[in-house]
Structure 1
Amino acid sequence: MAIANCDDKNAKALQFIEDMTQNTDSVQKRVLAEILSQNAKTEYLKRFELNAATDRDTFKSKVPVVSYDDLKHDIQRIANGDRSPILCAHPISEFLTSSGTSAGERKLMPTIRQEMDRRQLLYSLLMPVMNQYVPDLDKGKALLFLFIKAETKTPSGLVARPVLTSLYKSDQFKNRPYDPFNVYTSPDEAILCPDSFQSMYTQMLCGLIMRHQVLRVGAVFASGLLRAIRFLQLNWAELAHDISTGTLNPKISDLAIKQRMTQILTPNPELADFIVKECSGENWDRIITRIWPNTKYLDVIVTGAMAQYIPTLDYYSGGLPKACTMYASSECYFGLNLNPICTPSDVSYTIMPNMGYFEFLPHEEDLSSSSSSSTLSRDSLDLADLELGKSYELIVTTYSGLCRYRVGDILQVTGFHNTAPHFSFVRRKNVLLSIDSDKTDEAELQNAVENASVLLREFKTSVAEYTSFADTKSIPGHYVIYWEHLSLFFL
């Protein structure tokens, strides 16, 4: 990375990445020692009689590798109001809800307030890396469609919500210092509005008003950006009316949004006419670059199951680069993509060794036939000991109290930055269809859909969504795949 060509702030961020990745093993030793020292008196670690040991060998020989089901009872005790240090010495501040499920229920991942600062540190590294590949990102704004989702409270009163909702509602986000590389067209009032229609409408409206300032367009996932484009297809006439008259759609009733928009919305008939001209026709090819002509790239995740949306994104954007910048989950924030402007098939992430303690199980040597049974293992590999081309299952130990937790992601080593490996995301473990002895995993299903969808191109359509199930009512059994088609010409 060209640290010498950066301003002081970006140079400091890039140097931090270099320091962490040049000393991967020593950082990992320090992180594990900190976690074990912090949580030595917790009920969970006391069960395994570590006797204040903080070394890796003792930790691996005494503490088992576990899944969510192994921790579910302890997590439920915390959710029900037990304030004793069960998993973590620091008080649990909230639960982050995982997209995965256990026995049909959401997984509740405990977290602590201090973890938010660690996540913010990782976020602060993203734009310094991106600026090495896309210059002058401080000269405009980002149109990112960001939303909060519903949250609940556990019997103890602790909130349970998705990790991004936690981020957007945090003091760190709401009181973030000005950063010219991270200026959004969407006002916080719109991002924090719980009504999805009002939030999307306002964010799209602001994005249209500031269209010449937009340098990157995106959402967290590719599917989210396509939902935004579909929203524009359905609501462009009302949006254009608001811009023409300088008045806000009466469907927007959120008081915070209404007050904020009085500072942004003014009559602009010329812009309104442009939007009508671009959106009223049938051809939506390159609509992103037609409306936001200065867009340099799309900021979206297109790995894993999101890969199905790449052809449609290419249609709407004219093939703009798609930057997958970060690898994170509700259990832990892991790392970042040090080469963000690459083709989607080449996306790899570098796990930052300061984010948690990471172990890896060779994928071919699964610890057990059941992902819900705990297992002792000293045979896991450390972050600095992995081999190029090999696949591994990720295990994490966090400051928030997860110890040797099986995240469920299968990763493949694609290279190294200093001593830190790059990983491509292969698939989620145990996500598959099965009939008798035949098993089809997520990656194989995705490949099948991609190959078959090639046949749709001559009909000017693509796969917008798909789902599947194993039909065993007939003999022989077979897989049924449902496709939702998206016409590349909006009618």
Structure 2
Amino acid sequence: MKPISSNDETWEAKLKHLTFNVKEIQNNLLEEILTPNLKTEYLQRFNMDRFDKELFKKNVPVVSYEDIQPYIDRVVNGESSDVISARPITGFLLSSGTSGGAQKMMPWNHKYLDNLTFAYDLRMHVITKHVKGLEQGKGMMFLFTKQETITHSGLPARVATSSYFKSDYFKNRPSNWYYSYTSPDEVILCSNNTQSLYCHLLCGLLQRDDVVRMGSIFASVMVRAIKFLETYWEELCSNIRTGHLSEWITDLACRSSVSLVLGGPRPDLADTIETICNQSSWKGIVTRIWPNTKYIETVVTGSMGQYVPTLNYYCNDLPLVSTTYGSSETTFGINVDPLCKPEDVSYAFMPNMSYFEFITMDGDKRDVVDLHDVKVGCTYEPVVTNFAGLYRMRVGDVLLVTGFYNNAPEFKFVRRENVVLSIDSDKTNEEDLFKAVSQVKLVLDSSDLVLEDFTSYADTSTFPGHYVVYLEAKAKKEEKKKVSLEVNEEVFTKCCSVMEDSLDNVYKRCRFKDGSVGPLEIRVVSEGTFDLLMDFFISQGASTGQYKTPRCIKSGKALEVMEGCVVAKFFST
């Protein structure tokens, strides 16, 4: 295996150049993006007849996806790329989804993969500065490919990771440790994610002494993999003992490649793994099975932070390394302090990725500032201009500036704008939640019940996590002081179902297809519960005159108030 030490000085020089010369690189990049695109229909609309940064900021508006979607849809349906981009659009990247239920389709070209690959190589250099002894091992990475769709234009629409795994960038990747995995490529490219996950685990178990790092794109996937192992370890051990792969692995390429890794019977290895998995507690199971693992590489920021306690339990407090911040619009930057605590993760923005602007989120005024003008301690929403036809597009994330790496700002992910509930890749905002509850009101109304109030939270104490909605209801007629919960069990179960039916397609995919989100739960609380909740928040300093019921509870003590008043629980069927 080829060591990367010979390239360390080169990458260190690149990192210094990028992080010291932020303003100059950003200005040059904007000119590089705009100059070829001045004759596109989109920029012509705003009288952009020459490259001029101030003219660009003055004439071209900051937009949301909905503003530019009609132009993207035209390219999706077969019109020329030059509606929005002089550089040919070669496909579309699918976002996780919108509140309307449809996934966003971002125009894409190979510049996106250039940037992504550059970020991967850069973070590889950063990790080697902090973690030693990685060069002779392999990564047990739970990487998956999702089925693509072909648009009317004939161009593919894929999620970003699938675009990378199906590209020549991945096929022809370097032979160093960072790109060396325990699983053959055929496992990553397998379209059946259940078969792929099983084979990832089997290959990792067979090479347990070679594993020096483990991970996935998101922390939720890492937790899911461990839970999957908890279910299938006996079958996996049987495969290792006999040297034969389970018959239900039917993907031919996957089956053929994994059979080569499997080799022949290995009863001693099967006995070792069986002894470890048979113990009463699975605390530290990862380090017991894979003793040479040095860190877990996965995103633990944003909604993924809720999985940190679970990962710490299973991984014996191995470092949880959140390496890169990216989206369907662009790659933003990398974590230059990879061994920091999950709650301290920040990402240094790389000025060669896209042209970045930021909407100020503090106070009432919404100014737009450049990357080099952001201030420590302030929150912003990033705005992206990229190489594929997006100009000044809002991303929808809220970020906090925590400091600077040389002259490059470091941002901590705070939240998705308007998202109140999230378990996996689902993102339910307040509007989605109100829409779902409006359906509940109709069900209750038909049963002579009135909804008094509601709140919610994302319960990740079990796997898969699920949405919990607290409802307070009462009978319409005054003489009915109590709701007969036994009588209305069917009603509240139906409420669970109609709520799920009204949530978006991404939630439904996670819930019903991927299994990464569990059944929605309604917990009915006694009358007066929301008065108690208000009293609690006022006692914590909230204003009586400005108090609003929180639609998603983050406070553990506030949840205790709600839990103390629960009189019945119902799940969707």
Calculate the TM-score normalised by the size of structure 1: 0.86
* Contact persistence 1:471–1:478 (CA under 8 A): no
> For 2:193 and 2:101, how far apart are their aligned partners in 1?
25
CA drift at 1:190 = 0.3
Looking at structure 2, the residues matched to 481 and 158 of structure 1 have their Cα atoms a distance apart, in angstroms, of 42
2:180 aligned to which of 180, 183, 197: 183
Per-residue CA deviation, residues 42-84 of structure 1 (Å, 9 max, x unaligned), is: 111111111112x321110000000011011111111111115
User: 8 Å contact 1:308–1:464 — kept in the other structure?
Assistant: no
Aligned to 1:271: 269
Report the Cα offset of residue 481 of structure 1: 7.5
Q: Aligned ranges for residues 214-233 of structure 1 at < 5 Å?
A: 214-233=211-230
What amino acid is the match of 1:248? L
1:347 to 342, 345, 351: 345
The 8 Å contact of residues 22 and 372 in structure 2, kept in 1 or not, is answered as: yes
Q: Within the alignment, does 1:430 sit opposite 2:418 as a pair? A: yes
Q: Which residue of 1 aligns with 2:465?
A: 465
Seen in structure 2, the aligned counterparts of structure 1 residues 112 and 419 have a Cα distance that, compared at 3 Å, is same
Letter aligned with residue 467 of structure 2: T
Select the residue among 297, 300, 304 that pairs with 1:299.
Answer: 297
1:135 corresponds to 2:132: yes
Runs of 4+ in 1 over 3 A off after TM superposition: 365-368, 432-435, 461-464, 468-483
Aligned pair 1:204/2:201, yes or no?
Answer: yes
Deviations 1:260-289 (A, max 9, x none): 223211221110001111112331010000
Task: Say whether residues 1:51 and 2:54 are aligned partners.
Answer: no
CA distance in 2 between counterparts of 1:22 and 1:210 reads 42
Q: CA RMSD in A?
A: 2.4
Q: Does residue 253 in structure 1 map to residue 250 in structure 2?
A: yes
- The one-letter code sitting in structure 2 at the alignment partner of 1:312 is T
Counterpart of 2:130 in 1: which secondary structure? coil
Q: 1:87-486 maps to which residues of 2 (within 5 A)?
A: 87-101=84-98, 103-265=100-262, 266-365=264-363, 379-432=367-420, 465-468=465-468, 479=551
Indicate the structure whose relative CO is greater, using CA pairs within 8 Å and at least 6 residues apart: 1
Q: Deviation of residue 366 (structure 1)?
A: 6.4
Indicate how the Cα distance of structure 1 residues 158 and 354 shifts in structure 2: closer, same or farther if over 3 A, else same: same
Decide whether the 8 Å contact of 2:419 with 2:430 is kept in 1.
no
- 1:237, CA displacement in angstroms? 1.1
Distance 1:479 1:69, change over 3 A: closer
Percent of aligned positions that are identical: 45
Q: Which of 8, 27, 37 is matched with 2:25 structurally? A: 27
Give the count of matched residue pairs: 448
Task: Determine the structure 2 residue equivalent to 1:456.
Answer: none
Using the TM superposition, give the Cα deviation of residue 241 of structure 1 relative to its aligned residue in structure 2, in angstroms.
1.0
Q: Distance in 1 between matches of 2:309 and 2:32?
A: 45
Q: CA deviation at 1:161?
A: 1.3
- Note the C-alpha offset of 1:359: 0.3
Alpha carbons 1:471, 1:479 under 8 Å: kept: no
1:7 aligns with 2:5: yes
* Displacement of 1:10: 2.1
CA deviations 1:106-159 (Å, max 9, x no partner) are: 100011123212221111111110011101211201101000113212222221
The amino acid across from 1:115 in the alignment is: Y
Indicate the structure (1 or 2) with the bigger Cα radius of gyration: 2
> Aligned partner of 1:58: which letter?
L
User: Any idea what SS the aligned residue of 2:179 has?
Assistant: coil
* Structure 2 unaligned blocks of 5 or more: 421-428, 435-455, 475-526, 531-548, 560-573
Letter in 1 for 2:117: Q
2:91–2:109 Cα contact (<8 Å) kept = yes
* Deviation at residue 362 of structure 1 after TM alignment: 0.9
Q: 1:309 is paired with a residue of what secondary structure?
A: helix
Partner of 1:91: helix, strand, or coil?
coil
Which AA in structure 1 matches 2:375?
Answer: E
Matched residue SS, 2:224: helix
Distance 1:367 1:110, change over 3 A: farther
Deviation, 1:189, is 0.4
CA distance in 2, matches of 1:342, 1:224: 21
Tell me the SS of whatever aligns to 1:132.
Answer: helix
2:283–2:315: 8 Å Cα contact kept in structure 1? yes
SS in 2 for 1:131: helix
* Native 8 Å contact 1:95 1:158 kept in 2: yes
